């Protein structure tokens, strides 16, 4: 197997490379060109004679792959590989790898930032100070927004991979009881799992960490929200399509759910709008798909990409997701 020495990173700005040490990546691919962002119509030209492509979200469709005659390896700068036509890659003999385990701590930190912010009513209390409510109080404190402790609450976890397990550990440190959801629609519930619908009904916090697949599309929609406690919080740091955004908007506006933290939307960036971007929606935190992206996580990602390329060059590909 000849070594991959010529490569392109098609959307390097997605990882803010100027903040990172790229030494491992440049060592793995000596001739590596970085493009800040690549439109679909420019992909073929930019790939050119490259043997390896690094991309985060740039679409790798069949027509792009078919035109890349030298391409041997695609290493995706993410865990999800929805942007790559895996069937076409396999047919064309192109190995596709992803990056795993680099963002666990970062995602968990953002998830609990959302949980704590919503449960403790931080935004409401910050507003009370900003608008002078505390300053006009007759007491030393202003308790206009009752809040609850995480201790003793139940956290429902949908998706029990590395991130789901880490969420469980942090939840237990707060004194929360973990409810690990079984897959929706199965007839047999595994040991240490709880039926999906029962988790919805029992959880004080429901947090999603499952991949986006045809089975998880609209996993949480109107029917599922109706099963949840009116006080429950919903956290989505998985993929936008896992939650029906119009159903969540309506539930928040009508007070049928306690609050939501959302780091992902169905279409990103939401250039054509989104039901959740309505500023009148109460008890909603939206962040622009940043849960994965602490500086430390992005550095680990760079190193994982380099490891994937080095392993491929050594004839022992790792983290392979192609069919």
pLDDT in tens, 136-151: 999 999 999 999 999 9
**Each residue of 147-202: pLDDT tens digit?**
999 999 999 999 999 999 999 999 999 999 999 999 998 989 999 999 999 999 99
Do 6-102+295-313 and 104-286 show the same overall fold? yes
Q: Write down how long the chain is.
A: 323
Q: 67: how many CB neighbours lie within 10 A of its CB? A: 13
Instruction: Answer yes or no: 239 catalytic.
Output: yes
Candidate list 121, 289, 300, 304, residue with the active-site label: 289
Per CATH, is 104-286 categorized as 3.40.50.720? yes
| Closest of 291, 272, 323 to residue 113, by C-alpha | 291
**Each residue of 73-103: pLDDT tens digit?**
999 999 989 899 999 999 999 999 999 999 9
Q: Determine the pLDDT at residue 2.
A: 67
| Closest of 273, 272, 280 to residue 254, by C-alpha | 280
**Each residue of 268-309: pLDDT tens digit?**
999 888 999 999 999 999 999 999 999 999 999 999 999 999
Contact 192, 165 (CB under 8 A): no
Q: What are the domain boundaries of the chain?
A: 6-102+295-313, 104-286
| Whether this model's pTM surpasses 0.75 | yes
Contact 127, 101 (CB under 8 A): no
Candidate list 239, 249, 298, 300, residue with the active-site label: 239
| Closest of 271, 185, 277, 216 to residue 82, by C-alpha | 216
pLDDT for 249 beyond 90: yes
Torsion sign across C-alpha atoms 313, 317, 318, 323: positive
pLDDT for 121 beyond 90: yes
The Cα 108–Cα 238 span in angstroms is 11
Candidate list 149, 172, 268, 296, residue with the active-site label: 268
Q: How far is CA 134 from the centre of its chain?
A: 37
User: pLDDT confidence of 1, banded at 50, 70, 90?
Assistant: low
Instruction: Answer yes or no: 245 catalytic.
Output: no
First to last CA, the chain: 20
CB-count exposure of residue 183 (10 Å: 0-12, 13-18, 19+) = middle
Instruction: Answer yes or no: 6 catalytic.
Output: no
Q: Are strands 73-76 and 52-55 parallel, antiparallel or unpaired?
A: parallel
- Residues 186, 191, 197, 203, Cα dihedral to 10°: -150
Q: Which CATH number fits domain 6-102+295-313: 3.40.50.300, 3.60.20.30, 3.30.450.40, 3.40.50.720?
A: 3.40.50.720
């Amino acid at each position: 197997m000849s070594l991959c020495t010529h490569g392109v990173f098609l959307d390097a700005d997605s990882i803010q490379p100027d903040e990172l040490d790229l030494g491992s990546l440049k060592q793995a691919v000596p001739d590596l060109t970085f493009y800040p962002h690549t439109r679909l119509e420019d992909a073929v030209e930019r790939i050119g004679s490259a043997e390896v492509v690094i991309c985060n979200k740039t679409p790798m469709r069949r027509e792009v792959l078919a035109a890349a005659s030298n391409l041997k390896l695609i290493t995706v700068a993410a865990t999800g590989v929805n942007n790559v036509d895996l069937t076409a890659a396999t047919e064309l003999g192109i190995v596709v790898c992803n990056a795993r385990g680099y963002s666990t701590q970062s995602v968990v930190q953002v998830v609990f930032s959302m949980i704590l912010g919503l449960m403790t009513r931080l935004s409401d209390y910050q507003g009370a100070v900003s608008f002078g409510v505390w300053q006009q109080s007759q007491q030393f404190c202003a308790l206009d927004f009752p809040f609850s402790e995480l201790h003793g609450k139940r956290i429902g976890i949908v998706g029990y991979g590395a991130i789901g397990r880490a969420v469980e550990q942090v939840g237990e440190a707060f004194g929360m009881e973990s409810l690990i959801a079984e897959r929706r629609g199965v007839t047999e519930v595994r040991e240490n799992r709880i039926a999906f619908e029962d988790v919805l009904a029992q959880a004080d916090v429901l947090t999603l960490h499952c991949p986006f697949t045809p089975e998880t599309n609209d996993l949480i929609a109107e029917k599922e929200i109706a099963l949840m406690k009116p006080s429950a919080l919903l956290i989505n740091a998985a993929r936008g399509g896992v939650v029906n955004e119009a159903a969540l908007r309506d539930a928040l506006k009508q007070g049928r759910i306690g609050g939501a933290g959302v780091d992902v939307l169905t279409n990103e960036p939401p250039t054509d709008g989104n039901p959740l971007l309505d500023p009148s929606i109460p008890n909603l935190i939206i962040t622009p798909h940043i849960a994965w992206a602490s500086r430390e996580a992005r550095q680990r990602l760079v190193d994982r990409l380099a490891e994937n390329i080095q392993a491929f060059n050594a004839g022992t590909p790792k983290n392979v997701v192609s069919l």
